[in-house]
Structures are given as C-alpha cells and as structure tokens.
Amino acid sequence: MRPILFLIFLAPFTVFGQNYADLFKMGYAETFENEFEGTDATTDVRTVDIDLTVPIIINDKHAFVTGGFFGRNHLQLYPNAEATSLYSTTLKLGLQSKWNERWSTTIVLLPKIASDYHNISGDDFYFGGFGTAKYKQSEYLTWRFGLYASDEAFGIFMTPIFGLYYLSPNEKFEANLSLPISGDINYRMGDFAFGMDYFGIGRSFNIPEDNTYVDLSSLEFAGYLQYAILKRSVLLRAKMGYSSNDFEVYQQGETVDLVVSAFTFGDDRTQLNPTINGGIFFKFEAVYRFHLPGESKAE
C-alpha cells in the first residue's frame, strides 16, 4: 500500500499577485524513534533542506525563475543497520508571466539528481516540473490551480494543484494553500506569528550499490512560533508536530504503472524493508523574505 506522494518545491514564491518572495530557506528537522513495524528497532530521521529561488525580472509582465534545492535525509533503512544518507539536488528553471490584472501563470522545470551520491550516474537523474495559473479575485484573495508531474524510480507521478492565498485587510491573518501539497495558516502579532502548517513530500532515491531504490513519502503536520527580525525580512521559526516518515526500499526495476495524487495503478512491488512508522518531529527554519517595492510588508 502506497501513501500519498507530494512535492516540496511549491513554496510561496511569486513576483505577481503576492507582496513578497521567499528567496532563501534553510531548515533542520529531527524525528525521534521511528519504529520499524513488527520489530523492536527504531531509527531517528535527521533532515536538512536548503531552498534558493532567484527571480530575474524581464519586464513588468515576465520574470525568469531560477534557483535550486538541496536536501539530505539521514536514517537507518533497515533495523539495526548502519545509517544511510539520501541526497537530492534540484535545479529550478522557469518563467512567471502576468497576462492582465487578474491572471498570471508559472511554469517551472525541475531536473534533479537523487541518490546516496555514491558513484553518481545517469540512473540518479530524474526530471519533473509544474505549471500553475493564478486568478486574483480581489486585493486580499488569489486563487491558484495547476499540475505537477515527474518521473521517479518507481514510475510516473502526477498530482493536480488547487489552492489560494489570502491576507486579511488588517494584514494579521494569512492563509497560503497549495493542496494537496502544502498549507500554511498563521496570525501575526507584531514581530511574532503563530501558525500551523502542513507539508507533503514524495521523492525517490537511487542506491546503485544495492541495486535498490528508496521511495519516500511523508506527511508533516506542525504548529510553529515565528519571530521576524530586520524589518521582517528574516523569519525564524520553531516547529513541533507529527511526521509520517516512510522510506520504502524496493528492487530496481520494480515500478508502478502510474501514481495520480493518492491513487496508485499497477503496484505489484515487494517492499524489502519493514514499514517505518512516523513520530514526533522538531524543526528549525530560517527564511529570507524579500518584500516587493511599494507593497505592504505583511507576512
């Protein structure tokens, strides 16, 4: 049985329709004593992620989007085994366009290398991308919808995207949703903000030495406290929540026909390691937020 797979790259970046761009984000998380089903063994999962977005304004209608993402997961894949590090490096290449006062679009290509980074080869390379359209209903509300697709070690994955961005008139309450990928709701009190967020990630990692691959699926639900410094350009967050980490190991060549959001078609694979249960996690994040000239600095 395969849990829902999601993507991590639809962070709240926009040049058109939102009053800020999160240009840099760095986080460290640790989930403690994730249990292997059917055993007494556990593993901790340590995660580091760095996300960089570099928008290049072409004119008042178009902006080129580039940047990259680096992630590292460190854990035991089998009970009582040595810990393994799984890496992912993704390049962002895209274009964001504003067509009129209501409509804008974003198209981003996401080539990546994902493996244990031992003897990197073409088998470690995967290609994906997403496209979204945004409709600005009012000064405070923008709708978004689109599609993400990627080839992975397990086969083709795709998911529709539907969400919104809402900022209250007093600039204290904010909701930023890209479902079923991510969600963030927060309330600001001066330089502090209290919030809840949800994040779903799904990726695969090639392990050529063992002729296997790892199929990662995780849902994270957290509450957080945020403190803003330097005129609210740097955000510091402390999070606590639940993460359903599951790093499933399969033989290379065992794939599924298609994964569409939560639905898997043609999955006859045999999992090689015990299922890893989720657990409580803590995460610390630092974000550099660029406020667009002439716009409000609401978060």
Report the pLDDT value the prediction gives residue 217, as an integer from 0 to 100. 84
* Number of other residues whose CB lies within 10 A of the CB of residue 48: 15
pLDDT band at 16; cut points 50, 70, 90: very low
Integer-rounded Cα radius of gyration of the chain: 19
Distance CA 53, CA 22 (A): 7
- Reported as a single tens digit per residue, the pLDDT across 217-257 is 888 999 999 999 999 999 999 999 999 888 999 999 999 98
* Contact of 194 with 248, CB cutoff 8 Å: no
* Contact of 68 with 39, CB cutoff 8 Å: no
Distance CA 202, CA 158 (A): 11
Q: What's the average model confidence in pLDDT over 264-282?
A: 92
Report the pLDDT value the prediction gives residue 98, as an integer from 0 to 100. 93
The CATH topology of domain 20-291 is Porin (2.40.160)
End-to-end Cα, the chain, rounded Å: 39
pLDDT band at 11; cut points 50, 70, 90: very low
- Reported as a single tens digit per residue, the pLDDT across 181-207 is 899 999 999 999 999 999 987 789 999
With 0-12 CB in 10 A as exposed, 13-18 as middle and 19+ as buried, what is 57? exposed
Distance CA 107, CA 96 (A): 6
Q: What's the average model confidence in pLDDT over 205-215?
A: 95
